[in-house]
Structure 1
Amino acid sequence: MNLLIFLTCVTICAKDVLSARILGVFMTPSYSHQVVYQPIWKELSLRGHDVTVITPNPLHDPKLTNLTEIDVSSSYKIFREANEAELLFKKSMLGEVKRFSMLYEKLNHHQFSNPEVQALIRNKNQTFDLLLVEYLYPSMYALKDVFDCPMIGITSLGLTAYGNEIIGNPKNPAFDPDNTFTVSSNLSFMERLSSAAFDIFTRISSKYILLKKLDKLLPQYIGQEIRPLHEICMEFSLVIVNSNLALRNAKPTVPNLIDISGIHLQKPRPLPEDLRCFLNSSNEGVIYTSLGSNMKSALLPQYKLDAIMEVFSQLPYKVLWKFEKEDLPNKPANVEIRKWLPQQDVLSHPNVKLFISQAGLQSIDEALLGKVPMLLVPFFADQHFNAHHMVEKGAALSLDYHTATKEEFKNSILELMNNPKYQNHVDELSSIASDQMVPALEKAVWWIEYVLRHDGAKHLSYSGKHIPFYQFYMLDLLAVFITSVVLFIYISVFTIKRIFQLLSYMRKSIKTKKSKNIGYYKGTNTHIYSFF
């Protein structure tokens, strides 16, 4: 009997740890995106799964024997050129949507035409048990049909309006604007109106413009017939989102949307000796400046650099600046530049008192880990939303790159360095962000293996995602209700009006009849009186 129980337990455990063949497709040529995905595919490989990944940032780790990486890093050139254009002039939100749609098309052409990607797609003997795909590139969802397997989406950002729609996640744009909107909460009437209009526009443009274009693009690269992308989009088993309540507003979510946060964060490591000495000697406080991996400081036009350096030279603090060139002419004496810096470790140093950042989500994660207030200068995508959210939470100030003056820049720095309220709010948000039941990586991998264990986990999917929007928001029922009420009121008013008309007519008739009778009697009496 004991042997039977033991064998049963071994069988169950073996079923749980069986190796699966997993395809990961993480296409954004941006290191800040890839650092969210890298720990996941690495851990899956370490757990014995056979993992193949298409990525612009391969790990190239020889110890990961279960991992095959297809390198599409050549697409960085396309992404870099698009980001450089952002520095030249300011775009509207609709202009941003158009720009990213065009960028996606270019990246799709480039990455799909990669010889290794083509060899993978056209290999008829290739099979996978699961597709992990970046929840941003709808064209890559087509690989679900190519390999006929369940699909999980993972995103390093919050969800777009259409991203919420395809899993049936409720979203009210008046109180929960799109993550590419310019504000995050406490919207005025006009902002709510703009948010609702933007929400509708992005849903329509995603579903009826972008997806239609991609449907025409895919056949030349897929080499087989697949369903329209809007149908494939509805079949996500699970969506994993890099977010938590310190970084977003509280809102309802469907069961197959899983929040993780800080998956790329690590314990502080020892700094290089020269950097450690620089920070240790800066008792007055250090301002750390970095515009991230996409919007590099070295790309700024000279007049902007001159303005920034003039402000830095007037400050009583040292500045550590991630500047991606060897030399910076006219650099102030209090400024130290490095082409690369271990950002998490720098932000964890106690002498770093302010972080000047582009408001990327991963940078904000790292600032909260190090408990450092922020001066945010957003450029594109979700950065405006992130900046507004941090300002609303009291942990940061924000400046418009295109319009901010030197005085505003200097005053914002001094306000953040000297007013303790920002540090207090950062401490609160840091506590919220770090207080997690299980580590983010463990949570993400558990849910991925959950989907494998349950053959796609269809029971997590919300059935409401399939119904038209007018049914979801009960617009048809509301229309019937309003029509019924209006019809009832109309019939009631009409009936009452007719009753009053009838009563009035009857009253007039009776009055007229009485008048005639009185006249008749009066005439008779007169006649009688005169007769006598």
Structure 2
Amino acid sequence: MKTLGVTLLLLTCANVALSAKILGVFMTPSYSHQVVYQPIWRELSLRGHQVTVITPNPLHDNKLTNLTEIDVSASYKIFRDENEKGMLEGKSLLGEMKRFSKIFEMLSHYQLGHPEVQALIKNKNQTFDLLLVEYLYPSMYALKDVYNCPMIGITSLGITPFGNEIIGNPKNPAIEPDITMEVSVSKTFKERFLSTVLDLTGRVLSRYVLMNKLDKHVAQYIDEDIRPMREIVQDFSLVIVNSNLAIRNSKPVVPNLIDIAGIHIQKPKPLPKDLKHFLDTAKEGVVYFSLGSNMKSALIHPDKLDMILQVFAELPYKVLWKFEKEDMANRTDNVFIQKWLPQQDVLAHPNVKLFISQAGIQSIDEAIFKKVPLLLIPIFGDQPFNAHHMVSKGAALSLDYHNLNRVEFKNAILEMMNNPKYQSHMDDLHVIATDQIVPPLEKAVWWIEYVLRHDGAKHLMYSGRDVPFYQYYMLDIVAAVLATIIATVMIVVKTTKATIKFFMVSRSYVQNKMKKTQ
């Protein structure tokens, strides 16, 4: 008993010793983003860490006594008002980039200026041992210098080109396309050229335009004497990415980039009675249709909505549709609608045979973990990229939202419902995604505590992360070699010309001399 008591005491002391003060900043007002972050800050609180979180989706869990949440849920109105204006308009890539840049700038102004956030920043007695920050828009990274603590980034999406650059993660744009492109692998010269141009343009704009803009932006809310943003962004101890080898192609990565896809996946819970009855009685199979938490089916143009309903009316299957209005004109009996659905529990039902989705990464995660093939209709952001990847893996088909027509839509549904190859490929991806040494949440928390244990874990940081791109791609060396070759060729050419000229002159001189002697 005495030995057991000593052991328990040592374990308790160890837990206290590892306890840290952690600031989490998760700015994106999107449920699909926040569900990836919530399990992490909840688990850190349960493990005894003192956690303060700035979020638009607080847990409000009274059992988490070590958790303080600053509610910035008003961010949703900013995001919704700006995002819904252009989401379905089919703008250019440049237009999409401008729209999202504007949205995140507005969010940053609101959240950094929030009274509770300002009180936190201006409290000179406040300290933190770690900053855990959403790895998407860099303005919040400035808090690292306010508290002079290590910083860990976390993203609910795949990693962006700028995200790769600031940690020195190797990325060859000619092989790995930008996530805003419509392909996940560059094969043609046109694709490789466009990807390279986008990558280089993004690097220049991010490093020189965005960073200067952020310095002025952050200075409005932070009085501390902090470093320029271009220096702060390269100080990540670790980056945690919502990814795995089922949803991304294999590639080399730096030691401080960690995959954790599936972190928000939960065990199935009982369904509401009416929904359970609808699914249980669908022996012919169910097609589940949802465009995610940001894109609303109710915003679909009436003509396109009618076309979709016509197709669903002709199907020999039941259709479950996340639709954000109470009723739907011309809806047939085989279509069941609800404003919000427990998506993971729906996908876990054995009668759900096909998931029609907008190709958001969380929806793809859930489809893989629940083994449901995908018919993808990407709309914006990384969705076309995600869709192309899933099609290339054989577990999905993809349709163009802006050119969607009745025949193509119906044929794609029938093809996927009747051809077992899509289910077979999805089963393969499920095995890859789930065959992991530890669950994603346990992996994420272990690495976060690893950074705490090693005082920032600077040994994980790649030394080439702050190397300018022209040095990283050896453009200066190539230029020097080319210059040397050109100089050598020019010298040889000039020497040869001079030699030839000399011999010609000498020959002429000799000939003239001989003529005179004759």
For Structure 1 versus Structure 2, the TM-score category normalised by the shorter chain is: over 0.9
Residue pairs, 1:163-242, within 5 angstroms: 163-242=163-242
- Letter of the aligned partner of 2:375 in structure 1? L
**Structure 1 position 501, deviation (Å):** 4.3
Distance 1:11 1:81 in 2: 50
Distance 1:466 1:52 in 2: 30
Deviations 1:392-432 (A, max 9, x none): 22211112211221222112111211222222221121111
Q: Which runs of 5+ in 2 are unaligned?
A: none
User: Who is 2:245 aligned against?
Assistant: 245
Distance 1:366 1:428 in 2: 15
Residue pairs, 1:96-115, within 5 angstroms: 96-115=96-115
Distance 2:499 2:230 in 1: 57
Deviations 1:83-108 (A, max 9, x none): 31234411111111111111011111
User: Who is 2:362 aligned against?
Assistant: 362
User: Who is 1:525 aligned against?
Assistant: none
User: Who is 1:455 aligned against?
Assistant: 455
User: Who is 1:399 aligned against?
Assistant: 399
- Letter of the aligned partner of 2:345 in structure 1? D
Judge conservation of contact 2:15–2:48 (CA < 8 Å) in 1: no
- Letter of the aligned partner of 1:472 in structure 2? Y
Q: For 1:319, what is the secondary structure of its paired residue?
A: strand
Q: For 1:449, what is the secondary structure of its paired residue?
A: helix
**Structure 1 position 374, deviation (Å):** 0.9
Distance 1:396 1:279 in 2: 22
Judge conservation of contact 1:45–1:64 (CA < 8 Å) in 2: yes
User: Who is 1:489 aligned against?
Assistant: 489
Q: For 2:259, what is the secondary structure of its paired residue?
A: strand
**Structure 1 position 493, deviation (Å):** 3.2
Judge conservation of contact 2:354–2:373 (CA < 8 Å) in 1: yes
- Over the residues paired in the alignment, what is the CA RMSD in angstroms? 2.1
Between 1:236-245 and 1:485-494, the stretch displaced more is 485-494
Judge conservation of contact 1:373–1:426 (CA < 8 Å) in 2: yes
- Letter of the aligned partner of 2:191 in structure 1? E
Distance 1:216 1:445 in 2: 34
- Letter of the aligned partner of 2:106 in structure 1? K
Aligned residues: 513
Residue pairs, 1:348-359, within 5 angstroms: 348-359=348-359
User: Who is 2:422 aligned against?
Assistant: 422
Distance 1:511 1:420 in 2: 91
| Structure 2 residue 34 is matched with structure 1 residue 34 | yes
User: Who is 1:526 aligned against?
Assistant: none
Between 1:300-309 and 1:64-73, the stretch displaced more is 300-309
User: Who is 2:20 aligned against?
Assistant: 20
Judge conservation of contact 1:355–1:367 (CA < 8 Å) in 2: yes
User: Who is 2:466 aligned against?
Assistant: 466
Residue pairs, 1:366-381, within 5 angstroms: 366-381=366-381
Deviations 1:308-345 (A, max 9, x none): 10111111111011112221121112111122211112
Deviations 1:457-506 (A, max 9, x none): 11111111122222111111111111112222222333344444444555
Distance 2:369 2:120 in 1: 40
- Percent identity (aligned): 67
For residues 128 and 420 of structure 1, do their structure 2 counterparts lie closer, same or farther at Cα, with a shift above 3 Å needed? same
Distance 2:247 2:253 in 1: 15
Distance 2:370 2:11 in 1: 45
TM-score by length of 1: 0.92
**Structure 1 position 514, deviation (Å):** 6.4
- Letter of the aligned partner of 1:93 in structure 2? L
Judge conservation of contact 1:242–1:261 (CA < 8 Å) in 2: yes
Q: For 2:209, what is the secondary structure of its paired residue?
A: helix
- Letter of the aligned partner of 2:491 in structure 1? I
Deviations 1:170-212 (A, max 9, x none): 1111111222222211332112111111112222222333332
Judge conservation of contact 1:237–1:458 (CA < 8 Å) in 2: yes
Q: For 2:427, what is the secondary structure of its paired residue?
A: helix
Q: For 2:403, what is the secondary structure of its paired residue?
A: coil
For residues 84 and 40 of structure 1, do their structure 2 counterparts lie closer, same or farther at Cα, with a shift above 3 Å needed? same
Residue pairs, 1:334-353, within 5 angstroms: 334-353=334-353
Distance 1:433 1:17 in 2: 34
Between 1:218-227 and 1:152-161, the stretch displaced more is 218-227
Judge conservation of contact 1:86–1:380 (CA < 8 Å) in 2: no
Distance 1:286 1:514 in 2: 106
Judge conservation of contact 1:243–1:260 (CA < 8 Å) in 2: yes
Q: For 1:444, what is the secondary structure of its paired residue?
A: helix
**Structure 1 position 282, deviation (Å):** 1.3
Judge conservation of contact 1:16–1:453 (CA < 8 Å) in 2: no
Q: Which runs of 5+ in 1 are unaligned?
A: 521-532
**Structure 1 position 283, deviation (Å):** 1.7
For residues 480 and 427 of structure 1, do their structure 2 counterparts lie closer, same or farther at Cα, with a shift above 3 Å needed? same
Distance 2:197 2:12 in 1: 52
Judge conservation of contact 1:97–1:202 (CA < 8 Å) in 2: no
TM-score by length of 2: 0.94
**Structure 1 position 378, deviation (Å):** 1.2
Distance 1:69 1:87 in 2: 30
Q: For 2:486, what is the secondary structure of its paired residue?
A: helix
| Structure 2 residue 10 is matched with structure 1 residue 46 | no
Q: For 2:74, what is the secondary structure of its paired residue?
A: helix
**Structure 1 position 10, deviation (Å):** 4.0
Deviations 1:76-130 (A, max 9, x none): 0111122312344111111111111110111112222222112111111111110
Distance 2:472 2:279 in 1: 56
User: Who is 2:146 aligned against?
Assistant: 146
Q: For 1:159, what is the secondary structure of its paired residue?
A: coil
Deviations 1:423-453 (A, max 9, x none): 2221121111111111111111011001101
Between 1:199-208 and 1:75-84, the stretch displaced more is 199-208
Judge conservation of contact 2:186–2:192 (CA < 8 Å) in 1: no
Distance 1:16 1:40 in 2: 19
| Structure 2 residue 278 is matched with structure 1 residue 278 | yes
Distance 1:212 1:380 in 2: 27
User: Who is 1:67 aligned against?
Assistant: 67
Distance 1:271 1:515 in 2: 114
Distance 1:131 1:469 in 2: 28
Distance 1:252 1:331 in 2: 49
User: Who is 2:314 aligned against?
Assistant: 314
Judge conservation of contact 1:82–1:103 (CA < 8 Å) in 2: yes
